[in-house]
Structure 1
Amino acid sequence: MSRLQHPTLGTIEGLASGNVTQFLGIKYASLDHRFGTPKLYNGQASSGLVNAKSVGPAAIGIPNGCQLEHGLIQHSLPIPDFPPESDTECLNLSVTVPCDRVRAGKKLPVFVFIHGGGLAFGSGTWPQYDQAKIVRRSVELQLPIIGVVINYRTNIFGFLTSEELRKAGFKANNGLRDQKVAFEWVKAHIEGFGGDPDQVTAIGQSAGGVSVTSLLQCSEKLFQRMVVLSGSCLLRRPVSLDAYEQFYQEFCKAQGFGDISGEERIRAIEDRDSLELLLKTPPSVPSLPALDHDLLKEEISFEKAKDWSNAQQPRLPGLEWCKAIVFGDCEYDASVFLRSLTARGSNVAQQLSNSLNRAIPGKQLAIAALLDDYGISNAVDDGSACLAISHLANDLSFYLPCDVFAQFFPGTKYIYHLNEPNPWDGPFRGKAAHAVDVTFLFKNFDQFLPPWTKAVAQGFGDNIIKFVAGQVPWQASSGDNRVALVYGNDARGGELRKDEPEGVGRRAALFRYEESIGFDALLEAVSEFVAGK
């Protein structure tokens, strides 16, 4: 055990393990309602001992969510006995610090990790996100850093909104508001743990990347640097409040609340158990940010992103206060789409052709050429067609945002492409599938990796540590010198290359259709198809 006398939070008792100390389950915000707005929790220095020896409750989520993510990773870790999930006591975080820095009181760079899960599930308490090993590695590199991982609300509790809910006092985008308050907590209190509030890096993986890039819409300076791992606001964009009215109607109908008055509906929602409310929510109700004109004011698109580097044009406030990014993808991030594609049944290539032509009328010739370029229209069977469609979805959803941030983010940008295959048995063995990045970063699977993969993982993680510590991890990309660090396969532990599709293990075909079809229209149409619509 290790005790810390924090100047604002009081005496905190954590767990020392080797050369790191972890302070677990610390409350960062309070909620007076499961759909309520988070309020920064500053603690009470005179309230006695703060027990931070075990993780706090996660937000309400689908049962066995951790096991589900282990299935995506294709390897499991021992799952501890988590405390029961909570709808109002879930806003907690854990802080991992080098032991000697707790005693020395030196200010260290900090990272805050936002987990993925499609904004629908997930928890920072899961063992794959344990930060002891990455902080320990930072000490070995003589670049000590502090790690913070948070819980935030997901699914309906994080993102459902409607005019009725807002009139009842419940704002949109609860999950993003939780994250924003967590960064405010770090700014207010991390110095007491030895951290530097002026050296904070946000790290987001998958939906966590969607989150941290969405927070660039905030006028308040939340962090100085950002690491975006396979996900961004260009992938899951804020939807209109009108669209959420339809989602809310579908939600209420599924709950059996469709034929009652608005006031009765709010009371019925209030009276229903949180888990029951979640499990009765149909798949047609998505977990997406809302363009509420409060937290999120700007529409996001590939076309609008072209103005990000133009200081004369209105742009996202965070493009001014976030000064540097690491941004990258995995070679086959679209592994997360394959199950829904195979569920579409037979003649999937023709289904896609019909769907795209309905969604983007007047582009038949260009669409036919696109499907031919990706090997979709001439696929020998449905399995081959699904794989080819996933390549198109991969390029639109993950690779194209990489290219856009590399071109138009106005600050310093370090681009990477991760091509090291997943080594474990399962459908994605031999592919650099989604979540390989976070598996490598936190080192919690290192003992199960073959030596060559472990070497790649260490190079990947070490460079992120360098970036968090304020160092130059590799050569930055610029307009006249587009470069990226490539990991895996023939590049092994990292090789700087010219950032061109074929040279970094990606496809160039998509870029031929920017004018003839349009990237934004194509992403919307393909995303709808992948979602089963």
Structure 2
Amino acid sequence: MTPELEGWSQRTGNVKRIIIGDVEYESVIWANGVRSMTGEQVMEAFGKDDSLAQDLKGMYGIVPERLAACHTGALDLLNDALFALPVEKLQQDWNMPGRPVYRYVMDQADPWQSSHRAHHAVDLLLLFGGFDISFDSATDKVGHDMRVKWIAYVNGSTPWSPSKTYAFGPHGKCGEIDETELASRRRKRHMDFLRTYEPVKLSATVRGLAAGRISLLN
């Protein structure tokens, strides 16, 4: 590694504050690909079947005899490892006196097909308000609240308390939530376990589940 890149992951530059969050079902972009896998293929992604791999599979309900559970668990793992946990890590690494981090969770479902849940990029759909969603008053309300919060943030105001997480949805309800409610919305126990998992092995498992299986047609 060249000298100018050393310690890059801990650098914050001149950033004074950040706003960051995730949606409830980020891993939908792998849904079609993962659901085409057999139970044996899902199991193979976990590599050598040591005690840690067994614990990881147990945590996410990876059971080869139950294909639906394998697929759901694999998608949950991708969601946590690639989106939810990095958001949590960044919040903790960057949050210090005089440099607030404003975290949010987007849990308002797709207004056109709510069974798709709060999927990847639905926060962008609501933030920019480029579509007429007046037919869904709850989602319309969430979109309006997002725009109010973002406008306040970019103008230097405090959108919500940095000691709290702000929840957009579900069911049109928005507001600050505490750690207990956050843990009920995101797999906190699972992410705590992922923190203890060997990074190289976790990366290999993620690659085994995700590589070549992403699709925007989910």
- Fold match by TM threshold 0.5: yes
CA, structure 1 residues 386+522, in 2 after alignment: closer, same or farther (shift >3 Å)? same
TM-score (norm 1): 0.36
SS of structure 2 residue aligned to 1:462: helix
Unaligned regions of 5+ residues in structure 1, if any? Answer: 1-290, 309-315, 478-482
CA, structure 1 residues 465+527, in 2 after alignment: closer, same or farther (shift >3 Å)? farther
- Please list, as runs of the form range in 1=range in 2, the aligned pairs for 1:403-418 lying within 5 A after superposition: 403-410=88-95, 411-418=99-106
Superposition deviation, residue 470 in structure 1? 0.8
CA, structure 1 residues 298+333, in 2 after alignment: closer, same or farther (shift >3 Å)? farther
Counterparts of 1:527 and 1:499 in 2: how far apart (Å)?
31
Asked whether the equivalents of residues 423 and 429 of structure 1 are also in contact (C-alpha less than 8 Å), the reply is no
CA, structure 1 residues 403+392, in 2 after alignment: closer, same or farther (shift >3 Å)? same
Asked whether the equivalents of residues 21 and 103 of structure 2 are also in contact (C-alpha less than 8 Å), the reply is yes
TM-score (norm 2): 0.83
Is 1:424–2:115 an aligned residue pair?
A: no
Is 1:435–2:115 an aligned residue pair?
A: no
SS of structure 1 residue aligned to 2:46: helix
- Please list, as runs of the form range in 1=range in 2, the aligned pairs for 1:248-327 lying within 5 A after superposition: 297-298=5-6, 308=10, 316=11, 319-327=12-20
Summarize deviations over 1:422-472 as a string: whole Å, max 9, x none: 1224xx734100010100010012335500111011112211111011110
Task: Give the alignment partner of residue 30 of structure 2, picking from 320, 337, 341.
Answer: 337
CA, structure 1 residues 468+504, in 2 after alignment: closer, same or farther (shift >3 Å)? farther
Asked whether the equivalents of residues 420 and 489 of structure 1 are also in contact (C-alpha less than 8 Å), the reply is yes
CA, structure 1 residues 519+463, in 2 after alignment: closer, same or farther (shift >3 Å)? farther
Letter in 1 for 2:146: F
Superposition deviation, residue 406 in structure 1? 1.2
Counterparts of 1:420 and 1:380 in 2: how far apart (Å)?
29
| Structure possessing the higher relative contact order (Cα contacts under 8 Å, 6 or more residues apart) | 2
CA, structure 1 residues 378+355, in 2 after alignment: closer, same or farther (shift >3 Å)? closer
Asked whether the equivalents of residues 419 and 489 of structure 1 are also in contact (C-alpha less than 8 Å), the reply is yes
Is 1:445–2:131 an aligned residue pair?
A: yes
SS of structure 1 residue aligned to 2:63: coil
Is 1:377–2:67 an aligned residue pair?
A: no
Counterparts of 1:298 and 1:451 in 2: how far apart (Å)?
49
Summarize deviations over 1:308-364 as a string: whole Å, max 9, x none: 3xxxxxxx2xx13011000100000101111221233x22xx323322224xxxx61
Aligned to 2:169: 488
Is 1:354–2:35 an aligned residue pair?
A: no
Is 1:402–2:83 an aligned residue pair?
A: no
Which structure has the bigger radius of gyration? 1
CA, structure 1 residues 494+447, in 2 after alignment: closer, same or farther (shift >3 Å)? closer
- Please list, as runs of the form range in 1=range in 2, the aligned pairs for 1:76-475 lying within 5 A after superposition: 297-298=5-6, 308=10, 316=11, 319-344=12-37, 346-347=38-39, 350-358=40-48, 364-377=50-63, 380-381=66-67, 383-410=68-95, 411-425=99-113, 429-447=115-133, 449-475=135-161
Asked whether the equivalents of residues 331 and 506 of structure 1 are also in contact (C-alpha less than 8 Å), the reply is yes
CA, structure 1 residues 401+442, in 2 after alignment: closer, same or farther (shift >3 Å)? same
Letter in 1 for 2:33: S
Counterparts of 2:122 and 2:145 in 1: how far apart (Å)?
14
Letter in 2 for 1:352: V
Letter in 1 for 2:83: F
CA, structure 1 residues 520+470, in 2 after alignment: closer, same or farther (shift >3 Å)? farther
Is 1:506–2:194 an aligned residue pair?
A: no
Asked whether the equivalents of residues 420 and 456 of structure 1 are also in contact (C-alpha less than 8 Å), the reply is yes
Letter in 2 for 1:514: R
Asked whether the equivalents of residues 81 and 194 of structure 2 are also in contact (C-alpha less than 8 Å), the reply is no
Asked whether the equivalents of residues 419 and 487 of structure 1 are also in contact (C-alpha less than 8 Å), the reply is yes
CA, structure 1 residues 449+505, in 2 after alignment: closer, same or farther (shift >3 Å)? farther
Provide the aligned C-alpha RMSD in A. Answer: 2.7
Q: Give the aligned length.
A: 209
Counterparts of 2:65 and 2:156 in 1: how far apart (Å)?
48
Counterparts of 1:432 and 1:521 in 2: how far apart (Å)?
29
Counterparts of 1:432 and 1:324 in 2: how far apart (Å)?
26
Superposition deviation, residue 417 in structure 1? 0.6
Higher-helix-fraction structure: 2
SS of structure 2 residue aligned to 1:326: strand
Higher-strand-fraction structure: 1
Aligned to 2:216: none
Counterparts of 1:330 and 1:493 in 2: how far apart (Å)?
15
Asked whether the equivalents of residues 373 and 509 of structure 1 are also in contact (C-alpha less than 8 Å), the reply is yes
SS of structure 2 residue aligned to 1:385: helix
Summarize deviations over 1:473-529 as a string: whole Å, max 9, x none: 00013xxxxx21111126x442212235754511122312433x2345313431342
CA, structure 1 residues 438+509, in 2 after alignment: closer, same or farther (shift >3 Å)? same
